[in-house]
Structure 1
Amino acid sequence: MAWFEREFIAVPETGKNQLVYKWPDVNIRRYSRVIVNADEIALFVKSGQVMGALGPGRHRIDADELPVLGALVDTLSGGNFYRAELYFISTREFTGLEFGGRIADIADPVSEQVVTLRVFGEHALAVRDPAVLVTSLTGTTDIDDPAAVRSWCRALLLKSMKVAVTRGVSQGRWPVLGLSGHLPEIEAAVIEHTNTVLYEYGLRIPRLGNFDITLAPEDTDRLKRLAKDVTYIRLAGDFRQYAAGELALGAGHGLAHHGNEGGFLGAALGINALQQYPGGQVASPSPAAESREQPALPEGDRPSCTRCRTVNPAGAKFCIDCGTNLSATRSHCHDCGTELVAAARFCISCGTAVAEK
């Protein structure tokens, strides 16, 4: 019964998605059949060295048919077993592997603001050299864990992303805002750097999938506000005019949403700001404007009080100082009959002297 249980050696269904699968038994029965799928390669390893390889197909484990096994096996129990480690390595690309994380805090050369960059996306992973992969990772990585090798490659990819992006932004080749337009260049630089590191492990990253480099939310809002302010200042002419307009808009917003709770004070400040010249000085009406608004009247048309001699506004009927009836004090010239202005000493029509009362 044991003969039939060990007759066929192949990767089980649970190991189809693994980069490397190790056959659990190091005692391989003579004449067993090894089934290698089209996207696999099988390696016999002894004492940390690859002694033989099997390509896709069905192979019988026998030194007579596989001469390479002659230098590999130790015969036990009458030559019925070969003692060796057998690995199955997948040769296809593993796509859709996620990666991501924080890249670095970096100064934007355009806005001179320090921002935090992050990356999220997918990548593909493939074996460059199966022999190098097995001999370099079997002693340091748990081959039975399918996520171990991928996790290590993901960490190296993120490290390469940090180096490439930080270097490109610092040198001014890539702007912080608009990095999506440079994704092909970033992908090429990151893959080159990552594959240089992965070369000694027999692995490679053939391509990156859909990935994006973004800013932290608070940094995005800050740069958007800064870009808006710079544009509006350029349109307004200088910062003082832009600040005055922003203050007035804020006051109006406060009145619309909060009623009198601080709105009137903001409105007053905004109106005061809008009344300023670009130089920052408050505008005041010119003397000519004051003259137009309040035209000066001849003093003779403004009646004077006979009691206190106060000059009153034109048309006044009572003295603004003592309350004397101004109309009662008016008289006429005894020569021509012209009405005399209060406190007049001569007639304004004929020049006759007014008699003292």
Structure 2
Amino acid sequence: MALFSREFIAVPDDKKGQIVFKWPDVTIRRFTHAIVNADEVAMFVNTGQVVQTMGPGRHPIDADELPGLGAIVDFATGGNAYRAELYFVGTREYTGYRFGGRVDDVQDPRTGLVVTLRVFGEYALRVIDPARLITNLTATVDVTDNDRIAGWVSEQLLKVLRTNVTTQVVANGWPILGLSVHSPEIEQAAITSANGQLEAYGIALTRMGNFDINLAEEDAKQLKQLAKDTSYSQLAGGFQQYAAGEMALGAGQGMAQGGGATDGAFLAAGFALPGMMAGAMQQQQQQRPAPQAPPPAPTPAPAAAGGAACASCSTPNPAGAKFCMSCGTAMAPAVKHCTECGTELPGAARFCANCGHAAS
């Protein structure tokens, strides 16, 4: 096994999933063969500079075959080895890396409420320039663990999203509730912006998945309640009318459940409701058309000359009528007076009850 490891250099089977694999020995014997898989690129690096690149295939480690090695001969071995770092970099797509966290505090354009946006998702990446990855990133990132590279990429992605999402929400006036409708636009803009940042490090995001923008639980609850109040107040004709109805409903429910704590709310509603109801009634009266004046009552026609008006229907009748000619009601007998003493006599009297004089 020692001989094999000395004659052939390749990425071990248990390390093939790594984005970057660094060969552990910096002294590489001449005529050793480097085996580079189809989805890899191998590079010799000396003093921070890439001196030789090898594509897929089997390569003899010899300056005659790889001219760049001529400058990194290890003289301590009598010229039989090269002293350099050897990196294998995967060029396939690497998937399933997660990111997420707080984005920014954003004011909802519809309600004016300030809420905290959070974003979560997955992404896939690919190495587009192995030399840039090795020279610009491996000095600060532990390349023996993909999560170190992916963690750094996730930080760059969140950095871009903090600016990108806020700018899009404010510029387009997107309401926070229902923001997921615009996820494809935000996702594509995030990939474009992030790749602008990652280009200098030889990495590119190829796609994203399960992209989700959401709120903290308290912010979501508060925003939904405010949206509900706004909609209901519009339906009720104004916020005062809606608030009055909510207070009365809450007080009634509290009393029905026997809660003493609702007495204060009910009293508050009692004090507030008259003013609110008066305002609502005044508003309704202003909107209601003015009532029309009732028609004038008919003026009874004057009684016929010498006659009397019927006591039941007020119809005038001729003199001497015993029954009303309109409704048939008996007419009151005419009143007469004694010609001798002036005493008032009923219509049927034949003699005066005061002086006995014959009635005329």
TM-score (structure 1 length as normaliser): 0.72
Match of 1:332 in 2: none
Aligned-partner SS, 1:24: coil
Note closer, same or farther for the CA distance 1:245–1:2 as it changes in structure 2 (3 Å cut): closer
Distance 1:227 1:47 in 2: 61
Match of 2:80 in 1: 80
Q: Does 2:150 correspond to 1:150?
A: yes
AA in 2 matched with 1:261: G
Range 121-130 or range 4-13, more displaced: 4-13
Match of 2:118 in 1: 118
Match of 1:208 in 2: 208
Q: Does 2:130 correspond to 1:130?
A: yes
Note closer, same or farther for the CA distance 1:15–1:190 as it changes in structure 2 (3 Å cut): same
Note closer, same or farther for the CA distance 1:141–1:267 as it changes in structure 2 (3 Å cut): closer
Confirm or deny: 8 A CA contact 1:35 1:56 kept in the other structure: yes
AA in 2 matched with 1:137: L
AA in 2 matched with 1:250: G
Match of 2:161 in 1: 161
Aligned-partner SS, 1:210: strand
Aligned-partner SS, 1:211: strand
Q: Does 2:256 correspond to 1:247?
A: no
Range 123-132 or range 139-148, more displaced: 139-148
Match of 2:197 in 1: 197
**What stretches of structure 2 of length at least 5 have no aligned partner?**
283-360
**How far does residue 26 in structure 1 lie from its aligned partner after superposition?**
1.1
Instruction: Provide the alpha-carbon RMSD of the alignment.
Output: 2.5
Range 64-73 or range 197-206, more displaced: 64-73
Aligned-partner SS, 1:175: coil
Confirm or deny: 8 A CA contact 1:107 1:115 kept in the other structure: yes
**How far does residue 209 in structure 1 lie from its aligned partner after superposition?**
1.3
TM-score (structure 2 length as normaliser): 0.71
Aligned-partner SS, 2:279: coil
Q: Deviations over 1:100-147 (max 9, x none)?
A: 111111111211111111111111121120011111123333333432
Range 260-269 or range 224-233, more displaced: 260-269
Note closer, same or farther for the CA distance 1:173–1:58 as it changes in structure 2 (3 Å cut): farther
Match of 1:305 in 2: none
**How far does residue 198 in structure 1 lie from its aligned partner after superposition?**
1.0
Confirm or deny: 8 A CA contact 1:18 1:146 kept in the other structure: yes
Note closer, same or farther for the CA distance 1:174–1:92 as it changes in structure 2 (3 Å cut): farther
Range 42-51 or range 171-180, more displaced: 171-180
Match of 2:323 in 1: none
| Percent of aligned pairs with the same amino acid | 55
Distance 2:100 2:276 in 1: 52
Distance 2:159 2:39 in 1: 30
AA in 2 matched with 1:58: R
User: What does 1:303-314 align with in structure 2 at a 5 Å threshold?
Assistant: none
Distance 1:40 1:12 in 2: 13
**What stretches of structure 1 of length at least 5 have no aligned partner?**
283-357
Note closer, same or farther for the CA distance 1:278–1:94 as it changes in structure 2 (3 Å cut): farther
Distance 2:112 2:275 in 1: 34
Note closer, same or farther for the CA distance 1:231–1:56 as it changes in structure 2 (3 Å cut): same
AA in 2 matched with 1:36: V
Distance 1:88 1:105 in 2: 42
Aligned-partner SS, 1:204: strand
Note closer, same or farther for the CA distance 1:76–1:276 as it changes in structure 2 (3 Å cut): closer
Match of 2:232 in 1: 232
AA in 2 matched with 1:113: L
Match of 2:357 in 1: none
Aligned-partner SS, 1:6: helix
Match of 2:222 in 1: 222
Confirm or deny: 8 A CA contact 2:42 2:54 kept in the other structure: yes
What is the number of equivalent residue pairs in this alignment?
A: 281
Distance 1:264 1:149 in 2: 62
Question: Runs of 4 or more off by more than 4 Å in structure 1?
Answer: 262-272
User: What does 1:45-124 align with in structure 2 at a 5 Å threshold?
Assistant: 45-74=45-74, 76-124=76-124
**How far does residue 75 in structure 1 lie from its aligned partner after superposition?**
5.3
